[in-house]
Every structure is written in C-alpha cells, then in structure tokens.
Amino acid sequence: MTEFITKRVSNVRNDILSGITVALALVPEAVAFAFVAGVAPLVGLYAAFMIGLITSIFGGRPGMISGATGALAVVMVTLVAKGNAMGSPDENLGLYYLFLTVILMGIIQFLAGVLKLGKFVRLIPHPVMMGFVNGLAIVIFLSQLGMFKETIDGDKVWLEGNSLWLMIGLVGLTMLMMWGLPKLKATKKLPEALIAILVVSGIVIFSNLDVATVGSFIRDGGGEGLEGGFPVPVLETFTNIPLNMETFWFIFPYALILAAIGLIESLMTLNLIDDLTETRGNSNRECMAQGGANIITGLFGGMGGCAMIGQSIINIKGGGRGRLSGITAAVFLLMFILFASSYIEQVPIAALVGVMFMVVIGTFAWSSFRIMNKIPKSDVFVLILVSSLTVIFDLAIAVISGVIVSALVFAWENAKRIRARKRFNADGTKVYEIWGPLFFGSISAFNDKFDVKNDPDTVEIDFVEARISDHSAIEAIFALVEKYQAANKKITLKHLSEDCKVLLYKASPIFTDIIEEDIDDPRYHLAANPEKFPKPLGEYKF
C-alpha cells in the first residue's frame, strides 16, 4: 500500500504541470470547434471543462484527456442549422436541440458501456489503428492551417509578408524549444510544451508584437471573449422545444452518429495511450464515463465531446499519467474562464499551433512508410483507405469501412484454405479428409471437393483437421448428406466437434445414424478431451 501511494505522490508535480499545459491547449481548440458547430465559444469551453473533469475522475484510462472535438462538431453544425430553421431567428432553437441531442448521445454511450460493447474495439485490426492515427494527425495538421489566416472585411485570407514570416518564426521557435528542451537535464522536471508557451508568450507580450492571440481569435470568430460564469443547468432546453416523438426522431439519428463517433475516437485513443504507457485501460468503464459526461454536459449547456488524441498525447509526453492530470486540466480551464480570461487571451496563437504541430509529428505513424513493402497489400490498402476516409469524411465512417474491408479480406483468404485429401480404404470406402476452416466463405470450395455421382456406395468424411464455424457450414453438411442419400449411398461423418454434432442432431434425426461417435483415434481425443491426456504430447505413442 505504501508503494502504491508513493508512486502516485511522486508523479503529482508532473500531473499538475502537464494538466496546466493541456488546459492552455484546450482553449483555442474548444473555441474553434464551437465556431465549427455554430455555437458560442462558452458552449465549447463548458463542454471541455465538464467532460474533461468527469471522464478524468470516472473514466477507464487515467491520463487521457477529453473535451469538445472537431469530429463531433462537423456533425453538430447541420443539427444546429436545421434546429434554428424550425423557429424564428431570435429563438435560437438549434442550440436547445443540440443540448437535447447531447443528452441522448450520452444515454446511448452509457448503455454501450453497461452492455460491455467497449470490448469490441479489440476487433479493430492494426492497419486500421495505423490509418486512424495517420488520418487524425493529418486532420489536426489541417485544422491548424486555419490559424495562418486573418479576417479582413469579414473574410478569412491567408497571412502575407511580415505577418506570415512572424507567425512562421514563432511557430518554429515553439517547435524548436519542444524538441531541444528535453535534451537539457535542467528542464526535464517541467513539460517542454508549457515552457515553450510561456517563453513565446513573454516574447510577444514584452516585445509588443502584432500577432494573433487567443483573444483576437475569439473576436474574429464573432465571440465576445472567454469571460463567463460557472455553468448552470439550461432548463430552457425542456421548455423551448416540444418533448414528443417528432423531436425524438429528429434528434435520434444525430445522437446515434455522435455516440458512435465519440466512442470510436475515445476507445481508439485509449488503445493508443495504452501502447504509449504500456498499461491497460478499461474500455467499458470509459464508455460509461463518456456517456455520463455527455448527459451532464447537455444539461449544463455544453456541446458534448469525447477523447482528444492531441491533448492526450500532450499530457502523456508532459509526464501526466494519473487522473490528477486530467482533473487539473479541467479545473484550470474553468479558472481561466472565471478569473484569468484576460491573461489567457494574450497567449499567441502561434505558440499553441507550434505545440499542436509537434503533436502531429508525434502522432503520425511514420513507421507505416517503412513497412509498406513488408506487409500484405491488403493491409496497405486498408491503412491508406482509413487515413483517407478520416480526412475526407469522419472517423466513424473510416474505422467501420476499414474493419469491413479487413473482415472481407480475412474471409476471402481463409475461404481459399479449405482442402480435401482423398483416399480409399481396403474395403473400398472413399475417405475425404477435410482440412481448413469451414464457414460461409469456403462453402462453395467445400462442395466442389465431392463427386457424388461417381463416388462408391460407401463414403466417409473426416473432419479431424477442419473446424465447423457457422450455420452456413452446418447447412452445407446437411445438403451434402441429402445428396448422397438421394443417390442411395451410405455416408458417415467422423470427428465433428461437439457443438457441431449438437446442432446437426437438432437439425434432423437422420444424423443419429450418420455421425460416428465411437472413434478410436488419439489425435481426435487429444484435441476434444485434453483432460484425458495430461502428459506432454511427445510422451504418447500413436
């Protein structure tokens, strides 16, 4: 117990400092995603605070950071626009429909955790994971390019001349410091991202440089600043819009899509953090925490959210490992809103862009280029497909498509592995020894192995090297038996697995006389009943 406490106390400093760094990085991200969704900056900031706090306390992955994300914002913008169109412009109904949708989204996510659906993330193949991180790194990079624009007469235009070079210089300085500081022993106790942000902010403030800051970014987007009060329940959500089936069917598709995107991004980020920290998170607990956080966020006027891969990596690289790092990030974000908004608004956007660019470099799976010629072409295709779809559409479509393609490739490859070795016994019985998996994909190849018309009157099918995997395989066996019986030929089935025999006995009584139960074959008994052969395989003489 003492060792348990000592390990956690020793990392308190890293958790707190890393949490402060993450809080600074959360501000422009939350504001930007709020603008994407078509809502006020405080809606995004409140979401980042509440989701970050709740998931840090109750989530299944200590050290993972959650908040408002762009993957969800791009879906919300359509919902908000359609909701606003249902009433007069001054009613702002889209915002209330958004809050109600976030609550329903949270309920779906919580139920996914209760039903233990989080474990299915283990079925995601490695090429899909690599495509996910590569695509997300590209998305993060592209989202930062918008920071290289300025607003002129209401239009966003690219920076030019000295303004552009100054921006590039400050971004480069931030990245250089984050790269070089870890090499200095004196600075290893402080997160390099936090030091870089503070140094670059000091240079801008004391040199009075005319560059974009968090405050100017918010005002250019139509916001009124970071300052706000403590979030309170938005009771108008339940009074301004009708709570009936028509409303439910309007918000349900959006809630379902948002829940799927949120869970996929959160669980895949959880897996990535697991790999980085060499520890294991709890996916089902994370589902419930994400769901509960979104329910509360919707009640308190937040736009909802999920795990953020960029901020999570900033936290892990900064030494944040425990729940305290995420709690610190959420609490400091709220402190920024309540008490320090004027100071945070002075932080240059270039410093935060530099931090995010380093996150992109750290996130992208550069090893994917090195292994392109070493892995199957189908895996290369899946990797590129998932990366591309993540950038073009969204994470849910990309991951689901990658899993489907991987599953189809796996089924096709295994379908080609079915084999039948044919021989004759001394009494003239023809024996088919089946090798490989028998399932829906291999049924056609399986049927092609048999010659019912020209086979002798007695046929034996031996399944000792085959595995009956699904209902399609059982139906194929049943149909094959019927063909031999229709030709008045005796057929015997040997070495069927216990579960397959049970299903065949249920399917038809004809199998009672066809399946051979009493088999004197040590290979079969060793596989089916290992308790009968406790000694190592090499000690038996077959």
For 439, the domain range is: 419-539
Q: Is residue 403 part of a domain?
A: no
pLDDT value of position 168: 94
Residue whose C-alpha is closest to residue 312's, from 334, 329, 337, 295? 329
- Average pLDDT on 302-328 reads 89
pLDDT value of position 247: 92
Least confident of 285-299, 390-404, 480-494: 390-404
Which tokens belong to 27?
């501000």
Q: Are residues 376 and 456 in the same domain?
A: no
Q: Are residues 388 and 526 in the same domain?
A: no
Residues β-bridged to residue 493: 461, 515
Whether pLDDT at 203 is above 90:
yes
Which of 378, 394, 410 is the last residue in one of the domains? 394
Whether pLDDT at 385 is above 90:
yes
Q: Are residues 123 and 268 in the same domain?
A: yes
Domain count for the chain: 2
Whether pLDDT at 185 is above 80:
no
Residue whose C-alpha is closest to residue 146's, from 44, 69, 35? 35
The reported pTM is 0.73
Which tokens belong to 409?
């490739």
Whether pLDDT at 529 is above 60:
no
Cβ atoms of residues 101 and 82 within 8 Å? no
Q: Is residue 401 part of a domain?
A: no
pLDDT over 90 percentage in the chain: 28
Q: Is residue 400 part of a domain?
A: no
Which amino acid appears at position 269 of this protein?
T
Q: Are residues 449 and 502 in the same domain?
A: yes
Which tokens belong to 396?
């849910």
Whether pLDDT at 423 is above 60:
yes
Q: Is residue 414 part of a domain?
A: no
Q: Are residues 379 and 527 in the same domain?
A: no
pLDDT value of position 125: 85
pLDDT value of position 526: 44
pLDDT value of position 241: 87
Q: Are residues 454 and 330 in the same domain?
A: no
Residue predicted with more confidence, 107 or 88: 107
CATH of the domain at 458: 3.30.750.24
Q: Which of 7-11, 77-81, 515-519 has the highest mean pLDDT?
A: 77-81
Cβ atoms of residues 45 and 31 within 8 Å? yes
- Average pLDDT on 266-275 reads 88
Q: Is residue 388 part of a domain?
A: yes
Of the pLDDT bands very low, low, confident and very high (cuts 50, 70, 90), residue 223 is: low
Residue predicted with more confidence, 537 or 135: 135
pLDDT value of position 4: 43
Whether pLDDT at 6 is above 80:
no
Whether pLDDT at 218 is above 60:
yes
Residue predicted with more confidence, 144 or 220: 144
Q: Are residues 432 and 381 in the same domain?
A: no
Q: Is residue 473 part of a domain?
A: yes
Averaged pLDDT score across all residues of the chain:
84
Residue predicted with more confidence, 29 or 280: 280
Buried b (16+ CB within 10 A) or exposed e, 355-380: bbbbbbebbbbeebeeeeeeeeebbb
Whether pLDDT at 182 is above 50:
yes
Whether pLDDT at 35 is above 80:
no
Q: Are residues 160 and 66 in the same domain?
A: yes
Least confident of 31-35, 54-58, 337-341, 487-491: 31-35
Q: Is residue 490 part of a domain?
A: yes
Could you give the CA distance from residue 254 to residue 298 in angstroms, rounded to a whole number?
14
Q: Are residues 102 and 202 in the same domain?
A: yes
Of the pLDDT bands very low, low, confident and very high (cuts 50, 70, 90), residue 123 is: confident
pLDDT over 70 percentage in the chain: 91
Which of 394, 411, 446 is the last residue in one of the domains? 394
* 523 Cβ contact partners less than 8 Å away, ≥ 6 residues apart: 464, 542
- Average pLDDT on 202-222 reads 84
Which of 359, 394, 429 is the last residue in one of the domains? 394
* DSSP 8-state class, residue 120: G
Q: Are residues 379 and 431 in the same domain?
A: no
- Average pLDDT on 530-535 reads 49
Q: Is residue 203 part of a domain?
A: yes
**Residue 489 CB coordination number (10 Å):** 16
Q: Are residues 384 and 429 in the same domain?
A: no
Whether pLDDT at 305 is above 50:
yes
- Average pLDDT on 43-49 reads 89
Q: Are residues 389 and 425 in the same domain?
A: no
**Structural element, H or E, at residue 294:** helix 283-299
